[in-house]
């Protein structure tokens, strides 16, 4: 086994891979949220945006890379969690590091749970929207240029008229918020961007970004139900 491979499979290497892949997925979520905001710009712009993505030949390369990053993140996160679980003493209650109590909370202690729920959500989300009904099923939008493309906005509006789906979506986005709240600050610290003087600011920034993303997605779904769906 090469030195590089040994490092990547070590505890430190695993945590670095989790941090790097996690931050990469965070950047994807930022772009995805920005794209979702086009829902309120009208069907022309939202459908044109979605069509531009899926019709770009590079989308397959981008999707393959995103899937690889996602699977690498999941694999290393589970491996790290399992390793820590096996090494943790049974009487483990409160940890102390350098003379002070370890910072633990709901977000940090439920990472594996929120991550697992997010994984299931992503699969169902792809089935519903990316691989859901398209032009062949009548979801056709005619652009100003006369081109017929998939009417993803219509599908989105119809899906979000189901109160059960919306409730589940909001719950999943709340869990995503918890996952990001701890994950972002933890990733930055893993990569060495931590200092006793700045740790509280790193945590605050991580929390703010988690709120913007988690509740940003959730609020969009609610607005679609009560505003877009009735317009």
Q: Is residue 91 part of a domain?
A: no
Q: Residues 185-208: pLDDT tens digits?
A: 889 888 887 777 778 888 888 889
Res. 99: pLDDT tops 80: no
Q: Is residue 100 part of a domain?
A: no
Q: Is residue 33 part of a domain?
A: yes
> What three-state secondary structure class fits 104?
coil
Q: What is the mean pLDDT of residues 91-117?
A: 66
Q: Is residue 99 part of a domain?
A: no
> How many C-beta atoms lie closer than 10 Å to residue 50's C-beta?
22
Q: How confident is the model at residue 103 (pLDDT cuts 50, 70, 90)?
A: low
Q: What is the mean pLDDT of residues 118-145?
A: 92
Confidence at residue 59, expressed as pLDDT on a 0 to 100 scale: 87
* Longest Cα–Cα distance in the chain: 69
Res. 91: pLDDT tops 60: no
Contacts of residue 165, defined as CB under 8 A and 6 or more positions apart, other chains included, come to 159
In which residue are the tokens 């989105």 written?
Answer: 156
Cα–Cα distance, 117 to 127 (Å, whole number): 16
Confidence at residue 171, expressed as pLDDT on a 0 to 100 scale: 96
Res. 83: pLDDT tops 90: no
CA distances from 148 to 42, 45, 57, 112, 153 (A): 16, 14, 19, 43, 14
Res. 116: pLDDT tops 80: yes
Please list the helix, strand and coil fractions of the chain in percent, rounded to the nearest 5, in that order.
75, 5, 20
HSE of 68 in the Cβ direction (CA atoms, 13 Å)?
6
Report how far Cα 53 is from the mean position of its chain's Cα atoms. Answer: 19
Q: Is residue 54 part of a domain?
A: yes
Cα–Cα distance, 54 to 218 (Å, whole number): 24
CA distances from 137 to 133, 155, 223 (A): 6, 11, 26
* Tally of domains within the chain: 1
Q: How confident is the model at residue 92 (pLDDT cuts 50, 70, 90)?
A: very low
Confidence at residue 209, expressed as pLDDT on a 0 to 100 scale: 92
Res. 174: pLDDT tops 60: yes
Res. 141: pLDDT tops 60: yes
Q: Which domain holds residue 175?
A: 3-84+106-230
Q: Is residue 194 part of a domain?
A: yes
Q: Is residue 75 part of a domain?
A: yes
Token pair belonging to 99 = 């003379």
The CATH number assigned to the domain holding 30 equals 1.20.1300.10
Res. 29: pLDDT tops 90: yes
Res. 51: pLDDT tops 60: yes
Q: Is residue 97 part of a domain?
A: no
Res. 8: pLDDT tops 60: yes
Supply the mean pLDDT for the chain: 85
């Amino acid at each position: 086994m090469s030195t590089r491979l040994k490092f990547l499979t070590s505890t430190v290497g695993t945590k670095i891979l989790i941090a790097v892949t996690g931050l990469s997925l965070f950047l994807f979520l930022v772009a995805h949220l920005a794209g979702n905001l086009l829902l309120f710009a009208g069907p022309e712009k939202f459908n044109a945006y979605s069509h531009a993505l899926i019709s770009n030949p590079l989308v397959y390369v981008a999707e393959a890379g995103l899937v690889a990053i996602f699977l690498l993140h999941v694999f290393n996160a589970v491996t790290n969690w399992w390793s820590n679980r096996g090494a943790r003493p049974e009487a483990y209650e409160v940890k102390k590091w350098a003379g002070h109590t370890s910072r633990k909370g709901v977000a940090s202690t439920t990472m594996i749970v929120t991550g697992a729920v997010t994984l299931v959500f992503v699969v169902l989300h792809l089935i519903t929207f990316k691989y859901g009904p398209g032009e062949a099923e009548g979801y056709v939008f005619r652009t100003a240029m006369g081109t017929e493309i998939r009417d993803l906005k219509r599908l989105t509006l119809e899906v979000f008229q189901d109160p059960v789906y919306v409730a589940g979506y909001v719950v999943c986005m709340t869990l995503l918020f918890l996952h990001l709240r701890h994950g972002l600050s933890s990733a930055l610290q893993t990569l060495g961007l931590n200092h006793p003087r700045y740790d509280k600011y790193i945590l605050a920034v991580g929390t703010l970004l988690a709120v913007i993303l988690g509740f940003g997605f959730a609020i969009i779904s609610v607005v679609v139900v009560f505003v877009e769906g009735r317009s």
